[in-house]
């Protein structure tokens, strides 16, 4: 299983992100739009782990700090040129930074390898992008939800991110 620990997008912000994504796609029509069901903030990317380990990680992620009720202001956009990823985000959020450190600490204590690159909170909106123009014209609040372990899988030739639900998986 290919997995990562992340913050899912609240249903209330998906239409706002989709509007921004449409504008971004108009400016960069050759880019690939990320499906709205895949909008999230990655706290720690793990990669391949087996299902038993994934369930153990999901169990530990369920104990992470819950900042539900808090928000993060999305007020900017940018491009990671190397992976060609257009993103939206905001000023660093102490709460999201803490959650990323918590996620990484869990993985370190469990001895699970993960991407140790610098953390930059963002939501990917386009892949294979060259978008340079700003697309967040009106700031909005991203409700911080409980962190979850996601499985990244191919379904019908498309990449989907599925939260690992401990009740269903057992």
pLDDT value at residue 167 = 57
**Which tens digit of pLDDT belongs to each residue from 60-111?**
999 999 999 999 999 999 999 999 999 999 999 999 999 999 999 999 999 9
Structural domain includes residue 31: yes
The end-to-end CA distance of the chain, in Å, is 16
Q: What is the pLDDT of residues 17-37, one digit of tens each?
A: 999 999 999 999 999 999 999
Residue 43 lies in a domain: yes
Q: Which residues contact 7 (CB under 8 A, 6 or more apart)?
A: 40, 41, 43, 96, 99, 144, 145, 147, 148
Spatial separation of the C-alpha atoms in residues 3 and 162, rounded to whole Å: 9
In a domain, 170, yes or no: no
Could you tell me the two tokens for 72? 């993060």
Q: How confident is the model at residue 131 (pLDDT cuts 50, 70, 90)?
A: very high
Q: Is 91 exposed, middle or buried (0-12, 13-18, 19+ CB in 10 A)?
A: exposed
Report yes or no on 12 lying in a domain.
yes
So what's the pLDDT on residue 169? Answer: 46
> In this structure, is residue 169 part of a structural domain?
no
What is the predicted pLDDT for the residue at 170?
Answer: 44
| Contacts of the segment 106-109: beta carbons below 8 A, 24+ positions apart | 106/5, 106/57, 106/60, 106/61, 106/64, 107/5, 107/44, 107/46, 107/57
Radius of gyration of the chain measured on its C-alpha atoms: 16
Looking up residue 79, the CATH number of its domain turns out to be 3.90.1140.10
Q: Which residues pair with 126 in a beta bridge?
A: 33, 86
Number of domains in the chain: 1
**Residue 110 covered by a domain:** yes
**Which residues form the domain of 67?**
2-164
- Maximum distance among all Cα pairs of the chain, rounded to whole angstroms: 46
Closest to 131 in 3D by CA, of 27, 43, 26: 27
């Amino acid at each position: 299983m290919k997995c990562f620990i992340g913050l899912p997008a609240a249903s209330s912000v998906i239409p706002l992100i989709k509007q921004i994504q449409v504008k971004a796609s108009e400016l960069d029509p050759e880019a690939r739009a990320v499906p709205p069901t895949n909008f999230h903030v990655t706290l720690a990317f793990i990669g391949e782990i087996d299902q038993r380990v994934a369930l153990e990680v999901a169990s530990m992620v369920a104990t992470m700090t819950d900042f539900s009720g808090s928000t993060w202001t999305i007020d900017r956009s940018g491009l990671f040129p190397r992976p060609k990823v257009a993103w939206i985000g905001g000023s660093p959020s102490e709460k999201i930074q803490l959650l990323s450190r918590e996620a990484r600490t869990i993985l370190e204590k469990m001895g699970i390898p993960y991407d140790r690159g610098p953390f930059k909170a963002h939501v990917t909106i386009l892949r294979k992008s060259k978008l340079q123009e700003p697309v967040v014209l009106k700031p909005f609040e991203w409700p911080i939800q409980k962190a979850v372990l996601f499985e990244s899988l191919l379904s019908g030739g498309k990449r989907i991110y599925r939260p690992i639900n401990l009740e269903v998986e057992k």
